[in-house]
């Protein structure tokens, strides 16, 4: 028996190795951003996700570390909690880089200060308990959103300097953030709610390992390098089944989940099987080792076909173009094998949540690149 594997057989092997275990529904209790966690101090984020006007509690003890200590060039935006009196409005509008208000009272329910820039900003700091909106187009040198602060961008912002997101950044549907400045996610990608377009570079936090599971900015990461514990996983996330259900409905295609959750034991048996048949070296090129399959996360699924030609089908094209709108990405894109370690898998989707999936999609990067993993090695 020769060990030479033709391309066609290779694909077939990949297919069967991707596993065909039935997905088990439910049981996985992840949140919107897929595997994000709240327990760690490093990743913890506020989870308020509704509108800026209603979500901020003015906690007096602010324990978070400051994103940037030098605020000398920044305007501190804060208004006292006068309930929409005219007098406070005058201070909530800025032209140029003048400070908006120096009030530091943190008593209040948050008002939203809408900034209407006449000229470029030198900088903005959105402090704890404050909600700030930018409605018009602007260029900005530096933006700091402190923990507990909310910045809603409704216009087009050219980032000339960096933007630090420790609080919440909301990018509205028709809004855009672009430019040479870098958006630094301090804690979690959950802190960005992106419905618009972000083309500025995004800098992810360092990977954090908790109970044997690696997260980068709240995104659960499994690849050739990062693995999961044997005991991790309990089924396919409802988020995935729901996303696929929605895609099926909106696209009209059948979009069957042909492989969803795969346990460590299943992957172990599969990998051992290939090792027995082709030797370990070959098996490694074909199959994820146990603990390294993204299917164990419960956040990945193979859709309809496990042949590369799926990419050329109408359904495959639709999936590639639209899945981010449902919170998913094509996890192993074309031309990224050197980085992901996997061949192009147009069928394999990974759930990230709508906002993060959009950020990854718009970046044109694979997940490893988006999270700047090789820059850290
Ligand atoms: Zn797969």
In a domain, 45, yes or no: no
Among the listed residues 29, 28, 59, 60, the one whose alpha carbon sits nearest the alpha carbon of residue 46 = 59
Q: What pLDDT score does 37 carry? A: 41
Residues 141 and 222 in one domain: no
Which of 184, 204, 224 is at the close of a domain? Answer: 204
Categorise residue 252: left if φ over 0, alpha if ψ from -120 to 50, beta otherwise: left
Whole-number mean pLDDT of the chain? Answer: 76
- At 11, the pLDDT band (50, 70, 90 cuts) reads very low
**pLDDT above 70 (res 282):** yes
In a domain, 46, yes or no: no
Ligand 1 mean position to 15 CA, how many Å? 8
Q: What pLDDT score does 377 carry? A: 52
Ligand 1 mean position to 346 CA, how many Å? 9
Ligand 1 mean position to 342 CA, how many Å? 10
- Does the annotation count 345 as an active-site position? yes
**pLDDT above 60 (res 76):** no
- Give the span between the Cα atoms of 153 and 225, in whole angstroms: 37
Among the listed residues 119, 113, 82, 83, the one whose alpha carbon sits nearest the alpha carbon of residue 100 = 113
- Give the span between the Cα atoms of 137 and 157, in whole angstroms: 6
Residues 78 and 194 in one domain: yes
Residues 259 and 356 in one domain: yes
Ligand 1 mean position to 236 CA, how many Å? 13
Residues 117 and 151 in one domain: yes
Contacts of residue 90, Cβ cutoff 8 Å, sequence gap at least 6: none
Residues 265 and 367 in one domain: yes
Sign (positive or negative) of CA dihedral 323, 44, 52, 31:
positive
Which of 204, 232, 256 is at the close of a domain? Answer: 204
Q: Which two tokens stand for residue 153?
A: 């961008």
In a domain, 300, yes or no: yes
In a domain, 186, yes or no: yes
Of residues 82 and 133, more confidently modeled: 133
Across 55-81, average pLDDT: 35
- At 49, the pLDDT band (50, 70, 90 cuts) reads very low
Residues 235 and 361 in one domain: yes
Range 226-259 burial, b when 16+ CB lie within 10 A, else e: bbbeeebbebbbbbbbebbeebbeebebebebbb
End-to-end CA distance of the chain: 40
Q: Which two tokens stand for residue 81?
A: 């909690």
Q: What pLDDT score does 276 carry? A: 94
Residue 276 belongs to what domain range? 7-36+212-376
Q: What pLDDT score does 299 carry? A: 98
- How many domains does the structure of the chain reveal? 2
Ligand 1 mean position to 231 CA, how many Å? 20
Residues 123 and 188 in one domain: yes
Identified catalytic residue from 345, 368, 369, 377: 345
Q: Whole-prediction pTM value?
A: 0.72
- At 122, the pLDDT band (50, 70, 90 cuts) reads confident
Across 102-124, average pLDDT: 53
In a domain, 116, yes or no: yes
- Give the span between the Cα atoms of 254 and 242, in whole angstroms: 14
β-pair type (201-203, 182-185): parallel
Of residues 63 and 18, more confidently modeled: 18
CB atoms within 10 A of CB 335: 8
Residues 30 and 60 in one domain: no
Specify the range with the lowest mean pLDDT, choosing from 58-67, 124-133, 230-239, 319-328.
Answer: 58-67
Residues 73 and 188 in one domain: yes
Contacts of residue 219, Cβ cutoff 8 Å, sequence gap at least 6: 33, 34, 35, 36, 189, 352, 356, 367, 371
Q: What pLDDT score does 109 carry? A: 41
Instruction: Give the pLDDT confidence of 294-338 residue by residue, as tens digits.
Output: 999 999 999 999 899 999 999 999 999 999 999 999 999 999 999
Residues 124 and 153 in one domain: yes
Residues 227 and 152 in one domain: no
- Give the span between the Cα atoms of 151 and 130, in whole angstroms: 8
Which of 156, 173, 204 is at the close of a domain? Answer: 204
Cβ atoms of 204 and 371 within 8 Å: the answer is yes
Ligand 1 mean position to 301 CA, how many Å? 6
In a domain, 113, yes or no: yes
**pLDDT above 80 (res 286):** no
- Give the span between the Cα atoms of 304 and 372, in whole angstroms: 31
- Give the span between the Cα atoms of 112 and 90, in whole angstroms: 13
In a domain, 222, yes or no: yes
Instruction: Give the pLDDT confidence of 156-204 residue by residue, as tens digits.
Output: 999 999 999 999 999 999 999 999 999 999 999 999 999 999 999 999 9
Sign (positive or negative) of CA dihedral 90, 93, 94, 99:
positive
Q: In CATH, what number is assigned to the domain containing residue 324? A: 3.30.1380.10
In a domain, 15, yes or no: yes
Ligand 1 mean position to 349 CA, how many Å? 7
Residues 98 and 124 in one domain: yes
Length of the chain (residues) = 377
């Amino acid at each position: 028996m020769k060990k030479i594997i033709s391309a066609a057989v290779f694909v077939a092997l990949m297919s069967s190795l991707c596993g065909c275990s039935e997905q088990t529904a439910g049981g996985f209790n992840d949140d919107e951003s897929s595997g994000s966690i709240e327990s760690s101090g490093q990743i913890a984020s506020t989870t308020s996700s509704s509108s800026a006007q209603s979500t901020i509690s003015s906690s007096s003890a602010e324990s978070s570390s400051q994103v940037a200590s030098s605020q000398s060039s920044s305007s501190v935006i804060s208004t006292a909690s006068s309930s929409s009196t005219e007098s406070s409005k005058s201070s909530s509008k800025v032209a140029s880089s003048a400070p908006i208000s120096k009030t530091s009272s943190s008593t209040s329910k948050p008002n939203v200060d809408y900034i209407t820039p006449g000229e470029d900003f030198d900088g903005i700091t959105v402090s704890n308990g404050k909600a700030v909106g930018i409605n018009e187009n602007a260029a900005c040198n530096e933006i700091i959103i402190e923990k507990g602060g909310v910045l809603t961008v409704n216009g087009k912002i050219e980032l000339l300097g960096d933007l630090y997101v420790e609080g919440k950044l909301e990018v509205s549907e028709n809004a855009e953030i672009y430019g040479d400045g870098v958006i630094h996610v301090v804690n979690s990608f959950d802190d960005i709610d992106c419905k618009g377009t972000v083309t500025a570079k995004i800098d992810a936090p360092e990977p954090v390992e908790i109970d044997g599971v690696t997260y980068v900015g709240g995104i659960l990461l499994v690849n050739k390098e990062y693995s999961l514990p044997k005991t991790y996983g309990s089924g396919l996330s409802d988020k995935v089944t729901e996303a696929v259900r929605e895609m099926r409905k909106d696209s009209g295609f059948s979009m069957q989940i042909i492989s969803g959750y795969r346990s460590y034991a299943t992957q172990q048996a599969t990998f051992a099987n290939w090792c027995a048949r082709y030797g370990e070296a070959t098996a490694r090129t074909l199959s994820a080792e146990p603990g390294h399959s993204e299917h164990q996360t419960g956040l990945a699924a193979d859709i309809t076909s496990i042949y590369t030609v799926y990419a050329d089908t109408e359904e495959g094209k639709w999936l590639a173009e639209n899945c981010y709108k449902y919170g998913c990405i094509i996890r192993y894109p074309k031309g990224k094998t050197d980085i992901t370690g996997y061949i192009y898998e147009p069928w394999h989707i990974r759930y990230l949540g709508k906002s993060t999936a959009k950020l990854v999609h718009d970046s044109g990067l694979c997940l490893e690149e988006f999270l700047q993993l090789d820059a850290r090695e």
